[in-house]
Chain A
């Protein structure tokens, strides 16, 4: 399978929590990232987690890492219309290559 996999679409009502999931294959991945891309723009790093951590929280964002299952998730609390974007999961491999998933398009319902 692909090195990094994500579902392509997610729809969430404004004010609810969004949970974007990612799975990866390389158990020796050192850093794991979440990026946000708005239309016509480059990528913006939202947060990243070291492989020896299992959770990181930053304001409305919570990252959970399950190393055993090679599963990474990004939770956005109180989702706002400004959160509408494509979210990319990425992992750094031991040779310093960073591999991206195909991105999850988050759509906010009123």
Chain B
């Protein structure tokens, strides 16, 4: 039982490049979330999903897209990376509205 895993752990992108962050959970959770964490800003919700095939916008969705084609995976895409997207990205999952399990984070730098 791996819990919540995130791939990759680190990445450096040039401005304008694209990439996809993968979040996977093996707990059969319905809800999945993508957050970004910046110094002094706490965690901000980017997008979330309440079930396979569903997605919804969070607080800071601009510049990101997501997909939940399979229940266990939640993908976060950056189509054209910008320096403002330099951050640590956390994925989380939960069965319903209770305990969220967080992944270890992905540190992304955009130059």
**Contact surface of A with B, Cβ cutoff 8 Å:** 8, 30-31, 33, 41-45, 48, 88, 90, 92, 95-103
B104–A96 touching, CB < 8 Å: no
Q: Does B13 sit at the interface, judged by CB under 8 A?
A: no
How many pairs of A and B residues are in contact by the CB < 8 Å rule?
54
The residue of chain A having its C-beta at the shortest distance from the C-beta of B96 within the complex is A96
- Assuming the A-B contacts A48-B98, A48-B99, are A99 and B45 also in contact, with contact meaning beta carbons closer than 8 angstroms in the complex? yes
Q: Which of B41, B100, B102 has the most CB of A within 10 A?
A: B100
A42–B45 touching, CB < 8 Å: no
In the bound assembly, the distance between CA atoms of A25 and B58 in angstroms comes to 17
13 contacts between A and B (CB under 8 A): A33-B100, A43-B90, A45-B100, A48-B99, A88-B43, A96-B56, A97-B45, A97-B48, A97-B59, A98-B33, A100-B35, A100-B44, A101-B42
In the bound assembly, the distance between CA atoms of A101 and B40 in angstroms comes to 10
The tally of residues in B whose CB lies under 8 Å from a CB in A reads 25
Residues in B neighbouring A99, C-beta threshold 8 A: 45, 59
Please classify the interface of chain A as helix (H, G, I), strand (E, B), loop, or mixed, using the class held by over half of its residues: strand
Residues in B neighbouring A101, C-beta threshold 8 A: 42
Residues in A neighbouring B104, C-beta threshold 8 A: 41-42
A98–B45 touching, CB < 8 Å: yes
A30–B97 touching, CB < 8 Å: yes
A98–B42 touching, CB < 8 Å: no
